[in-house]
Structure 1
Amino acid sequence: MADELATQISALNELYSTPKWVDLNGLINCATTHLASSGLRPNFDCVGISLLGRGSYNTVYKLQFSDGTQLAASVSKSPSEKFNPSAKQSEIATMKFVRESGLFPDVPVPKIHAWDTTFSNLAGAPYVLMDIVPGVNLADTRGPEPRGLRGLDYLGDEQQVKVVKALAVLQASLSRPLPSHLTKIGSIAPVEVQGNPQFSVRPFVTSRACLGGPFNSMQDVWRAKLEYEALYTVEQRASLDNSSPPEPACTPETFAELYQQLSSLIDHLKIPPKYSRLVLHHPDLALRNVLFDPDTLKITGVIDWAGAQILPLVLTALYPDDLLSAYDRPFTHPDVPKNPYPDCWRCIPFDWTHPPPESYPAAFIGPDMPADFRPLVGALVRRVTLRARFAAYFDEEMRKRKYSDSSLATLFSDAQEYLRFNETLFRGWYGWMDHERWIKSSYERVQSSRKKGDI
């Protein structure tokens, strides 16, 4: 059995390019030690390790033990210089908060058994040991070629509606009113109150930095982010011994101009009271992070809580990735030249309408893509309607649960300007350059309105 386990580890290292500092034998040792120390049948061995999933920042392994125990081990892929332990600790705290607080009984989250957010353990990297979530990942479903549809687009109409409604209900579940001790903008963290473990809102952390706080308003968050970017950029640019040349388009003068315009826009983007209530936000409720019962299509698990925060409702009005679309996928839309800002937003979908077949390119650029665009364009057109249904289902569920005193039917459309501004800021100065035209146009529009006395 030891030889078989060694073969599995060797294959994982070779096939999936395990980072050189990660020791899978050490990971198994950590998991075995934890189970033994927890009093759960100490006399057993790990008999198998396999890949459960891979994301941008973590790899998840399935560990099987001789007594039948199975665990999921999520291991960070980031090197130590790019890893933010505070962000990982907040992610763990958020999962425990959702599972243990009693506020979210219909949001299934795996139980966490142990973790280590350092690089000094036997695994050589931060890891989290948790239960394996039952269910299937619908993002992996894919039809036979040449249709090329996958995930939600591949499902039938009735199944699509069930999945979209389940995701909308899930988002509404997370949008419930929070108790009074969680009414600040920031990240969840564990605290001790008279010896009892509880949860609180602590400084606002991202994968890269801590912005301070917790904050009373998004204006305060945005100013903190602007200040962070100014300090970070000056530190990068002012080092004359930097081996990589600065981005030519972002001269110090351009940076200063955009910084001032963004700063001016902060006070203009005050969130209306209707949308300012604070809620728990999972930033990526895509099919890749939500598991379903294959027969009923009910949600069985929600994973990957990295970046979860307490935010105003309006900044949580994001459609799942599976409902988004971009103007250049599967090919550049013929109406794009008429659009003065064809910027690619991560948070805002492009509303496809069916272009004439004669405008279709002859074939995809990618080697595994089909030449027939009709199924894919049809899927994008269908997403427009599915987004409308998602927003309607969310509003219906919020009113049903009495989480809102007024209709939220237009929340997702009303949120777009706030989401654009927030995305621009949080992408850093690279994002500022990508959306330079939008920043300048927004600034000019505000200035024009002020001169007319509209604001």
Structure 2
Amino acid sequence: MRTSGQRDPSHSSFPVQESEGLIFSDERISEEDLYRYTRRRWLCNEQKELSKRYVRFDLQELIRAALDVSDGSRYCTRVLKCLEGLHNKAFILTMDNGVEVFAKLPNPSAGPARYTTASEVAAYDMLREVFKVPVPRVLAWSTDATNNSVGAEYIIQEKVQDVRLGSLWNQWPQKAKLNLIKQVDNLLSLTGDAKPLTVDSVAPEVLERFAIGPLTSAELWTGARKDMALDRGPWRNPIQYTQALGKNEIGWIKSHAKSRMNYYRSMEDQEHPEDGLALLTQYMDAASYLIPSSDDEAASSNVLWHPGLHLDNVFVDPETHEITSIIDWQSACVAPLFYQSGIPRMFQHPGPVQEGCEEEQKKIENDLESETMHKYYEAQVYKRAPRHWSVLQRKTIPIMRKPVELVTGVWERRNLFFLRQSLIVLAAYWEEVYSDSGLTCPSQFTKTDLELFSKLWPYQETED
């Protein structure tokens, strides 16, 4: 589309980016297709799901905002609607002088648009200016849809010029992949092994520019939760965090949960909100123990961590194999390394598959390269990021943080079984997890509880 910021987009043709920026389809789409989600369909509750991903805005005003930060540009010559993710609308705007910018607008499913946008902008700024991590520069942004001409919250960034790692990874020799792992670990060391990002340790000049705000993850803001006075932080210590998540869930179940059938449990008896509340009582009893030790400096270090690093949010120079940008920091948070440490999924070796899948098992067993990547990443963490390694290699930490990961949305997501499982595992390994502490496990399960759990286990494993 060519426009000076005045033409009606409903009469123009918008090329739609199909995948990885390599394949394009010059399909004419309606103006309405700019706002709605068109990538996939839903078999159930489709209108509800589509409404979570619908954003209406003024394209002409978005173009004007982009022109204001595109030096020397007079008008926009092309708009590409990017292949859609679940949480954002994204466009590449090309100007008359060849300048390209990336425009991003959060869907309702992304969480609170104001906080989500402000948090992402701040994260990019901190990553660039404080940690020197290669991320796109933010050129313009707005967190107030009611007071901007676009009519929606937005971020305009410089467009990343290189290639997504996902389109090259399978073509690279192992040497290039191992070098890439070194680069990723070095960058994570900047954010994970630098001075902890606590209020007491951040330099005064940084404090003037940044603030720790509430969590912006969608699970705390969508549906009925957006109108509830939930405790979304910030918190001054991990105990406040683990307890707040439990209290939030108790409040939601009391206000909104309804009795329902759980056919894995019974073909006749319903599952009641009281069942969820009883389990959450056990979670709350354990919550104050699901934290790093106060004298464990490594696990207690507050770090800024990428929320989901994978092959398609890393950009590289195809010639030098060097990382040039890391994107998708939406809803990244500052939290103790205890809750954030892990191996990026692009380097994780798959675990064993279910028994009986002999062909698949053989494939995984023969996937030596995948195992090599996993082990090499661990070796690099050991050498380059001692704080991260001291947390990563402790097998008890996943046992302690699993209940915290599961508690939010436990009723809506039908995760009661898995939360109960995590608390049973915690009780089973209590003496190992809290060795020499003399503490008594607060979570107690009766013989009836364990029998019911054992009965449900094979069905839930299949479901999972």
| Farther off after superposition, 432-441 or 290-299 | 432-441
- Counterpart of 2:105 in structure 1 is 75
Do residues 264 (structure 1) and 285 (structure 2) align?
Answer: yes
Tell me the alpha carbon deviations over residues 276-307 of structure 1, each in whole angstroms, 9 at most, x when there is no partner: 11111221122221111112222111111112
Do residues 202 (structure 1) and 213 (structure 2) align?
Answer: yes
- Counterpart of 1:148 in structure 2 is none
- Deviation of 1:56 after TM superposition, in Å, equals 2.0
- Counterpart of 1:218 in structure 2 is 238
Q: How many residues align?
A: 381
Alignment of 1:43-442 (within 5 A): 44-78=74-108, 83-100=112-129, 103-105=130-132, 107-120=133-146, 123-141=150-168, 152=169, 155-175=172-192, 176-178=194-196, 181=199, 198-207=209-218, 208-209=220-221, 211-237=231-257, 246=260, 248=262, 250-272=271-293, 273=296, 274-324=298-348, 332-334=353-355, 359-360=358-359, 378-379=366-367, 382-398=369-385, 404=387, 408=390, 410-411=392-393, 413=395, 415-429=397-411, 430=413, 432-442=415-425
- Counterpart of 2:14 in structure 1 is 8
**What CA RMSD, in Å, does the superposition of the two structures yield over aligned residues?**
3.8
Query: Within 1, Cα distance between the matches of 2:200 and 2:81?
Result: 37
Tell me the alpha carbon deviations over residues 295-350 of structure 1, each in whole angstroms, 9 at most, x when there is no partner: 2222111111112111112222121122336558xxx4328xxxxxxxxxxxxxxx
Query: Within 2, Cα distance between the matches of 1:275 and 1:192?
Result: 23
User: Partner of 1:428: helix, strand, or coil?
Assistant: coil
Is the 8 Å Cα contact of residues 395 and 409 (structure 1) preserved in structure 2?
A: no
Do residues 30 (structure 1) and 62 (structure 2) align?
Answer: yes
User: Partner of 1:129: helix, strand, or coil?
Assistant: strand
- Deviation of 1:79 after TM superposition, in Å, equals 6.2
Query: Within 2, Cα distance between the matches of 1:226 and 1:182?
Result: 27
Query: Within 1, Cα distance between the matches of 2:344 and 2:425?
Result: 26
Tell me the alpha carbon deviations over residues 404-444 of structure 1, each in whole angstroms, 9 at most, x when there is no partner: 4x963853645422442332124533364251442341354
Is the 8 Å Cα contact of residues 258 and 439 (structure 1) preserved in structure 2?
A: no
Do residues 19 (structure 1) and 35 (structure 2) align?
Answer: yes
- Counterpart of 1:445 in structure 2 is 428
- Deviation of 1:112 after TM superposition, in Å, equals 0.9
- Counterpart of 1:338 in structure 2 is none
Is the 8 Å Cα contact of residues 72 and 130 (structure 1) preserved in structure 2?
A: yes
- Deviation of 1:377 after TM superposition, in Å, equals 5.5
Distance change (3 Å), C-alpha of 1:453 and 1:316: closer
Is the 8 Å Cα contact of residues 13 and 29 (structure 2) preserved in structure 1?
A: no
- Deviation of 1:108 after TM superposition, in Å, equals 0.7
Is the 8 Å Cα contact of residues 55 and 108 (structure 2) preserved in structure 1?
A: no
Distance change (3 Å), C-alpha of 1:440 and 1:221: closer
Query: Within 2, Cα distance between the matches of 1:72 and 1:50?
Result: 10
Tell me the alpha carbon deviations over residues 179-221 of structure 1, each in whole angstroms, 9 at most, x when there is no partner: 653669xxxxxx998xxx6112233332233634322322210
Q: Which amino acid aligns with 2:108?
A: S
Structure 1 gap segments, 5+ residues each: 142-151, 185-190, 239-244, 336-354, 362-372
- Counterpart of 2:21 in structure 1 is none
Q: Which amino acid aligns with 2:177?
A: Q
Q: Larger RCO: Structure 1 or Structure 2 (Cα < 8 Å, ≥ 6 residues apart)? A: 1
Query: Within 2, Cα distance between the matches of 1:92 and 1:311?
Result: 18
Q: Which amino acid aligns with 1:137?
A: R
Is the 8 Å Cα contact of residues 197 and 334 (structure 2) preserved in structure 1?
A: no
Query: Within 2, Cα distance between the matches of 1:88 and 1:431?
Result: 30
Distance change (3 Å), C-alpha of 1:183 and 1:219: farther
Q: Which amino acid aligns with 2:359?
A: Y
TM-score, normalisation: structure 2 = 0.70
TM-score, normalisation: structure 1 = 0.71
Is the 8 Å Cα contact of residues 75 and 95 (structure 2) preserved in structure 1?
A: yes
Is the 8 Å Cα contact of residues 214 and 232 (structure 2) preserved in structure 1?
A: yes
Query: Within 1, Cα distance between the matches of 2:172 and 2:398?
Result: 28
User: Partner of 1:225: helix, strand, or coil?
Assistant: helix
Query: Within 2, Cα distance between the matches of 1:313 and 1:180?
Result: 12
Query: Within 1, Cα distance between the matches of 2:97 and 2:308?
Result: 35
| Farther off after superposition, 69-78 or 415-424 | 415-424
Tell me the alpha carbon deviations over residues 370-416 of structure 1, each in whole angstroms, 9 at most, x when there is no partner: xxx8656533x5433322221221232225xxxx4x96385364542
Q: Which amino acid aligns with 1:6?
A: S
- Deviation of 1:163 after TM superposition, in Å, equals 2.2
